Chains A and B, each alone.
Chain A
Amino acid sequence: MNSDIVKPENLVYSRTKVLTDATMHYCPGCGHGTTHRIVAEVIEELGIQDQTVGVAPVGCSVLAYNYFDVDFQEAAHGRAPALATAVKRLNPNLFVFTYQGDGDLAAIGTAETIHAANRGENITMVFVNNGIYGMTGGQMAPTTLVGMKSATTPYGRNVELNGYPLRLTEILATLPGTYFVTRQSVHTPAAVRKAKKAIKQAFENQKLKKGLSFVEIVSNCNSGWKMTPVQANKWMEENMFPNYPIGDIKVEGKLVEGIGLDRLVVSSPLTVK
């Protein structure tokens, strides 16, 4: 270690203080850790640590309340948007966010998610989509791609038997209650910077009181996908991104130019290569 460089005044990056010292239980390379960190960094940069309430889901990120040094509520499975609605309506000046995975938000919590968005609640929702139920052992989720192997679809998801994958983010963008809808990822430095910018925007939007801000993070699940973290990130780029395209979908209450009906209404199933 070079002691000329390692001095407090030369520090350019370190773990944010809005995360607690607890070691995260996530698997090595999991996007949840990175997403936690950028949400915490946004809270630190906006200076709203004492005005923020998070709502934790059920799933891999069920223990999120152990890792953020902000007030937290634990919701019943899928009901985070409903709980966040209550917190926000009782304390309209607080910043309220939910942090959910695809099994929580897009499966059991579909009703709560769609209705919170349609009511235009002034909350921020962070949705981590890894196309699988990670915590319970890699079963098929609504977001699992056609042909993708999981514990309950060992020969790949079959449309005739399992139906089509769900792109909830596109569905939410069509609702008048959403103000900001975007899809990001956290597997490279550039992607993390963009995702952080999007999450910051989603938190700042709460001051405007114009509707729900929704940030999807397309993530990996190397344990569930049975790959190394680096392989999983590559597989995600090749298979998840064509089906879950990265970028803003709705900004300031309007669909981004170029996002047409063909994008919002999926006519062909989302398939792995």
Chain B
Amino acid sequence: MAIKGEIVIDRERCKGCGVCLGACPKSVIALSKNVNGKGYNYAEAVKDECIGCASCAIVCPDGVISVYKANL
């Protein structure tokens, strides 16, 4: 049993400010090289180490991150 988390980022809403990057204790998030419809480099999860702490979602100014957590 291990606690695993997963984040779902609304790419089109994300403005690529990067505040969530520093908030993540596991450095799971990075800014994509690709851009969304508004031309922002959106945030995306690049590692599988999310613990579902929701720190990224709590600091996100645009509320684009949903967090899921499960005991697998």
Binding site for B on A (CB under 8 A): 1-2, 4-7, 10-16, 19, 23-24, 26-34, 37, 186-189, 192-193, 222, 228-230, 233
B57 within 8 A of A: yes
Contact of A33 among B4, B22, B63, B66 (CB under 8 A): B63
Q: Tell me whether B13 and A23 are in contact (CB under 8 A).
A: yes
Q: Tell me whether B62 and A24 are in contact (CB under 8 A).
A: yes
Complex formed: what's the CA distance from A238 to B17 in Å?
20
B72 within 8 A of A: yes
Contacts of B69 in A (CB 8 A): 5, 10, 12
Q: Tell me whether A187 and B55 are in contact (CB under 8 A).
A: no
Q: Tell me whether A5 and B70 are in contact (CB under 8 A).
A: yes
Q: Tell me whether A15 and B63 are in contact (CB under 8 A).
A: yes
Binding site for A on B (CB under 8 A): 4-6, 8, 13, 15-19, 21-23, 40, 52, 54-55, 57-70, 72
Contact of B67 among A7, A11, A193 (CB under 8 A): A11
Closest to A26 in B: B61
Contact of B68 among A12, A29, A192 (CB under 8 A): A12
Complex formed: what's the CA distance from A16 to B22 in Å?
23
Complex formed: what's the CA distance from A233 to B21 in Å?
13
Q: Tell me whether B52 and A12 are in contact (CB under 8 A).
A: yes
Contacts of B59 in A (CB 8 A): 34, 186-189, 192
Return B7 CB to nearest CB of chain A, in Å: 9
Contacts of A31 in B (CB 8 A): 61
Given contacts A5-B70, A12-B68, A187-B19, contact A29 B63 (CB under 8 A): no
A-B pairs, top 4 by smallest CB distance, nearest first, are A33-B61, A29-B17, A28-B15, A28-B17
Given contacts A28-B16, A188-B23, contact A6 B61 (CB under 8 A): no
Contact of B72 among A1, A4, A15, A26 (CB under 8 A): A4
Closest to B12 in A: A23
**Max chain B Cβ within 10 angstroms of own Cβ: one of A14, A26, A192:** A14
Q: Tell me whether B70 and A11 are in contact (CB under 8 A).
A: no
